[in-house]
A = this chain, B = another copy of it.
Amino acid sequence: MKKQLDKPFPPFTAEKIAKYLNCPFEGNGKTIIKGVSSLEKAKKGDLVFSTQRKFRKSLENTRASAAIIPTSKTFSRITVIKSENPHLSFIKVIELLHHPELPKPGIHPTASVSPSAKIGSHVSIGAFSCIGDHVEIGSRTIIFPLVTIYPGVTIGQDCIIHSHVSIRSSTEIGKGVVIHNGVTLGSDGFGYVKEKDGSYTKIPQIGKVIIKDNVEIGANTAVDRAALDSTVIHSGVKIDNLVQIGHNVKIGENSIIAGQTGISGSVNVGKNVVMGGQVGIADHIEIGDNVIIAAKSGVSGNIPPDVIIAGYPHQDIMTWKKIWASLSQLRPLIKEVKRLKKRLEKIENKEK
């Protein structure tokens, strides 16, 4: 858990917030801060932040009462709080002012909870949620209404599981995990053996899914269980909506995967990898640490650490950009070669 800051009480003034953030301020410290806003939509009483180069211009037009700005900048029309990381400081103010409405602890009388389930303290289980045999749920975890947790699942402390999530049997979930609506964890991997008559026999998928601490998984994403071992999502991984994670995949710590990306079976993704949206990774590929994969790339071979790739088939991003730049020259080139050929023929004919 993050270190708790010493929270001030309302009414919040610019001075109080600056002190809370451990940042200096300039201007009227008595300015009342009622909320946060984007630069465009801000009204009186709002706090905004700006890190933009053209931040002066963006601030000139805002109706906000105060702004968090980079330490190196100055601005005098409104009260400013100076931060080394204005965005992070702004997030801390959001967390101070906004408390997401979460269900209260307690098991809803309509929930179907197995007598063999072990439920921690201050857990919330919503209406019509189904908790299977031998499930374990850690303290303060929130299960929204209409969630299905199959038998043998373990869920750590301080998790949030939204409505219409399915967590299939034997899945293991760490602490502080957030799972958005409609996610399926632990569905069967896609594995078949072809028979002589052309039909497919299913390979039983008897492995499981392990989700480590502080992972977040976006709406309607699916993570398949392993055939024999485990599909593993390591700590701090952030997965967007509608992503497909195949069986036996491993995703390294603090990697981040944007929407609609698909990772085929047995892929091994390193740490701190960043994948754009709609990326596709073929099965059994190894992706090194710190790799960045541009949106819509199709990866069909191993990727060494610390590179940026793009395209399908994937290439080093600079190569890919050069190829696409040169493509526009292909048609003129075809014409040029025809012209050269004629000129050459002319010379050849003379020589005869």
Interface residues of A (CB under 8 A from B): 36-38, 40-41, 85, 87-88, 91, 94-95, 98, 100-101, 108, 110, 112, 126-128, 130, 144-146, 148, 150-152, 162-164, 166, 168-169, 178, 180-182, 184, 187-188, 190, 192-193, 195, 198-204, 206, 214, 216, 218-222, 224, 227-229, 236, 238, 240-242, 244, 246, 253-254, 256, 258-260, 262, 264, 271-272, 277-278, 280, 282, 295-296, 298, 300, 312-313, 319, 322-324, 326-331, 333-334, 336-337, 340-341, 343-344, 347-348, 350-351
Contact = CB atoms under 8 A, between A and B. Distances in A.
Contact of A199 (B85, B254, B264, B329): B254
Contact of A222 (B146, B242, B344): B242
Contact of A204 (B98, B295, B319): B98
Contacts of A347: 344, 347-348, 351
Which of A98, A200, A202, A222 has its CB near the most chain B CB atoms (within 10 A)? A222
Contact of A331 (B152, B236, B326): B326
23 contacts: A38-B227, A87-B193, A88-B201, A91-B203, A94-B204, A95-B204, A168-B181, A182-B184, A184-B241, A190-B218, A190-B241, A202-B216, A242-B242, A242-B244, A242-B262, A244-B277, A259-B264, A264-B295, A278-B298, A313-B324, A330-B330, A340-B341, A347-B351
Copies in the complex: 3
Given A181-B168, A220-B220, A326 B330 contact: yes
B333 A337 contact: yes
Contacts of A343: 344, 348
Given A37-B228, A201-B88, A256-B200, A331 B336 contact: no
Given A163-B166, A331-B326, A348-B347, A200 B242 contact: no
A164 B167 CA distance: 11
A190 B187 CA distance: 24
B151 A128 contact: no
A249 B216 CA distance: 21
B277 A280 contact: yes
Looking at chain A's contact residues, the main secondary structure is loop
Contacts of A254: 198-200
Contact of A344 (B148, B151, B180, B344): B344
A68 to B, nearest CB: 13
Contacts of A272: 198
A242 to B, nearest CB: 5
Sorted nearest first, the 7 A-B pairs with minimum C-beta distance are A166-B181, A148-B163, A184-B219, A219-B222, A187-B219, A181-B184, A222-B241
